[in-house]
Chains A and B, each alone.
Chain A
Amino acid sequence: MINLRIPASPAADDTVAAGQNVKFAARDVNVHYGNKHAIRGIDIDILENEVVAFIGPSGCGKSTFLRCLNRMNDTLDGCKVSGDIRLDGEDIYSPSVDVVHLRARVGMVFQKPNPFPKSIYDNVAYGPRIHGLCASQDELDATVERSLRGAGLWNEVKDRLADPGNGLSGGQQQRLCIARAIAVEPEVILMDEPCSALDPIATGLVEQLIDELRRRYTIVIVTHNMQQAARVSQKTAFFHLGDLAEFGETEAIFTNPRDERTQGYITGRYG
């Protein structure tokens, strides 16, 4: 919690520190969509200031599990989540947890860039406004600028903050969505295939951004692109048909997978 407030330093150590906190702890998580058992008994620990990549073939449940982490699955009819998911030791599915508060702490970036049909400024300012984070207009302006800088978009849009957010290019829109997410200052950012609709250059920018964001935030990213997982993450989880087949250091997963399903997937035999 505390080191969240420490500004990012370029000298930050990239390796996992020994005493790193567990941010998310999931135990025996099961998800049912009606009769379909989408997620089967997943146990996973996500450490603070770490990028965790979820990979796996389509329909394996990685997005479903991601959406469990900020309870976005609540909005789906017929979706039942059981098991235990703890954020900083607190059960996020307990009745005492306010889902609005949870989502302020756990932000999300979606697969398709989905800026609001409002100005760039209003897009970024929306989160701080609804949560009442900024007392004055100056503070809000500062937050918007900081968030846009954080998303690497400030120099491109600083002269046209009143322009519609939908008028940006796809990659810019996605970075706008990231700026919108970090404007709320969440502790964790969930990214659901954030680059699947972007070209390689925009993808490169977003990946670079993820690497910078990790100094401040914990990031969970779902991706279909294994090179991307290898590039941006420290830990990788491989999902297969609703099971967590393998979870470990990214390097180990890609160079020396223990599970034969992982091996099959990353060598391109299926998936």
Chain B
Amino acid sequence: MTERPPALPAGPAGTQTAGAQGKSPALTSRHMSDASRARLKKRYAAEARFRFYGVAAITLALAMLVLLIGSIAWRGAGALVETWVSFDVYVDPAVVSADDPANPQTNYRKLVYEGFYQQFTPALSRSDQRVAGSLISSGADRFLRNMVVSDPALIGTTVRLRTPAGDDIDQMRKGRIDRSLPQAERKITDRQLALYDQLVADGDIGLGFNSVLFTSTDSNEPELAGIFGALIGSLMTLGVCLVCAVPVGVAAAIYLEEFAPKNRITDFIEVNINNLAAVPSIVFGLLGLTVFLQFFGLPRSAPLVGGLVLALMTLPTVIIASRAAIKSVPPSIRDAALGLGASRLQAVFHHVLPLAMPGMLTGSIIGMAHALGETAPLLMVGMVAFITSVPSSLTDAATILPVQIYLWADRPERMFIERTSAAIMVLLLFLVVMNSAAILLRKKFERRW
């Protein structure tokens, strides 16, 4: 790291003495003396020290990152698989009408449990049936319903139903419950354990990919809760934010940078934009609550309102990034265009914007990524609600990924802890994708020849 030129042969020492007797003794000794060498050494030492600090800082940062991602992945990996129970169910034509299998009155629940009890030999007593019922998810009838509705030919036949196990059984299967503990200290009773062992022995229970997590919405039953609704809500909210914040921010930046006169008013605006970027996000939430919900009467919990609030929050970031990008375009390009008789607008749109594009894109995408992870302002406009349906329009009640994470993190069930980490992984994946897109787009547009 510290390279020094090789020591010269004894020659210079000779010249040094000769010089000392010559007319300028001070000059030759100035850079050849021991004191000078010591100064040089000190300089190299300072550089080496600084490099060490740099490497140490990066190592520390990387370690933190690895710790963060590692701990989330460690805890969330379990949620990628789920315990599934398979058993035969007779789809009784007396219960399910062939004309209208989707009828909400249809008692699929009865069919599921009747089928499930048949699994066990000898036949279960009435009290055992209640215990056995707790082994499968209380939402198992939904799976049968979906199966039959999508294929009504199944009515009157016996089908093999695959349904998630109850959350305690899932934890048992994943080895998170210690069966050696006395019954009073574990979440599963001895009786449940016996029936579980019987299922294991028959090979009717096993781990499989957790498709529920990615296809369903929030639920009180952890084995039925998924992030799909929140994901759609996030995309809708982000879409509204993008459509509102980017055009307004870019237009504002162009006007302020290229057209606005420099006077007190524009100075005042500039200071305020910079201030807005530093305002805590919850304040934007309160603003959204007052303006959008109370004044304009927009619906609560809607992606439309969430997106507008996030747009307000992202706007200063987009403006500041776009202004910086426009400022970095060399003025000679503007002069060249104006000198040829281009109007101000032509100079901006033909020459300045293409050069400023990569910077503006990066700024906008980073602003969006920031908005994607934002929680606080959305709590204020009601996006914290428990939503069990996928939003189908911008005014439907919805929740978003970070809020879903926040809600699940509050739940006591062990299975929700896994799902929280899994949802965080999905959110991080989204952020990585967005930031990579920012880098790729910048590279693509940055051919400034």
Tell me the A143-166 residues at the B interface (CB within 8 Å).
Answer: 164, 166
Cβ contact within 8 Å between B336 and A103: no
Cβ contact within 8 Å between B449 and A117: yes
A180 contacts B by Cβ under 8 Å: yes
Cβ contact within 8 Å between A181 and B448: no
User: Total interface residues on A, using CB and 8 Å?
Assistant: 28
A11 contacts B by Cβ under 8 Å: no
Bound form: Cα–Cα A115–B343 in Å = 18
Complex interface: chain B residues within 8 A of A180 (CB): 336, 340
Q: Contact partner of B338 among A77, A103, A177, CB < 8 A?
A: A103
Tell me the A90-146 residues at the B interface (CB within 8 Å).
Answer: 100-104, 107-108, 110, 112, 114-117, 126-127, 130-131
Bound form: Cα–Cα A72–B342 in Å = 12
Cβ contact within 8 Å between B341 and A104: yes
Complex interface: chain A residues within 8 A of B355 (CB): 117
Cβ contact within 8 Å between B339 and A108: yes
B63 contacts A by Cβ under 8 Å: no
Bound form: Cα–Cα A72–B339 in Å = 7
Cβ contact within 8 Å between A166 and B333: no
A250 contacts B by Cβ under 8 Å: no
Complex interface: chain A residues within 8 A of B342 (CB): 100, 126, 130
Cβ contact within 8 Å between A100 and B339: no
Q: How far is the CB of A227 from chain B (nearest CB, A)?
A: 27
Bound form: Cα–Cα A127–B343 in Å = 11
Cβ contact within 8 Å between B341 and A131: yes
Q: At the interface, is chain B mostly helix, strand, loop or mixed?
A: helix
User: Total interface residues on B, using CB and 8 Å?
Assistant: 22
Bound form: Cα–Cα A76–B223 in Å = 67
Cβ contact within 8 Å between B346 and A130: yes
Contacts from A to B (Cβ < 8 Å)? 70, 72, 75, 77, 100-104, 107-108, 110, 112, 114-117, 126-127, 130-131, 164, 166-167, 177, 180-181, 184
Cβ contact within 8 Å between A127 and B341: yes
Cβ contact within 8 Å between B261 and A77: yes
Complex interface: chain B residues within 8 A of A184 (CB): 340-341
Cβ contact within 8 Å between B340 and A130: yes
Complex interface: chain B residues within 8 A of A164 (CB): 449
Complex interface: chain B residues within 8 A of A72 (CB): 335, 338-339
B75 contacts A by Cβ under 8 Å: no
**Known contacts A116-B351, A166-B449; A127/B336 CB under 8 A:** no
Cβ contact within 8 Å between B262 and A181: no
Complex interface: chain A residues within 8 A of B333 (CB): 114, 116-117
Bound form: Cα–Cα A209–B332 in Å = 23
**Known contacts A114-B333, A116-B333, A117-B355; A181/B339 CB under 8 A:** yes
Cβ contact within 8 Å between B340 and A126: yes
Q: How far is the CB of B312 from chain A (nearest CB, A)?
A: 30
Complex interface: chain B residues within 8 A of A167 (CB): 449
**Of B330, B332, B336, B355, most A-chain CB atoms within 10 Å:** B336
Closest to A105 in B: B341
Cβ contact within 8 Å between A70 and B449: no
B 350-373 binary contact with A (CB < 8 Å = 1; else 0): 110011000000000000000000
Bound form: Cα–Cα A77–B267 in Å = 14
Complex interface: chain B residues within 8 A of A166 (CB): 449
**Of B261, B332, B354, most A-chain CB atoms within 10 Å:** B332
23 A-B pairs with CB atoms under 8 Å apart are A70-B339, A72-B338, A75-B335, A100-B343, A104-B341, A108-B335, A108-B339, A110-B332, A110-B336, A114-B330, A114-B333, A115-B336, A116-B333, A117-B355, A117-B448, A130-B341, A130-B342, A130-B346, A130-B350, A177-B336, A180-B340, A184-B340, A184-B341
Closest to A101 in B: B341
Bound form: Cα–Cα A264–B337 in Å = 38
Bound form: Cα–Cα A117–B354 in Å = 10
Cβ contact within 8 Å between B262 and A116: no
Closest to A166 in B: B449
Complex interface: chain A residues within 8 A of B350 (CB): 126, 130
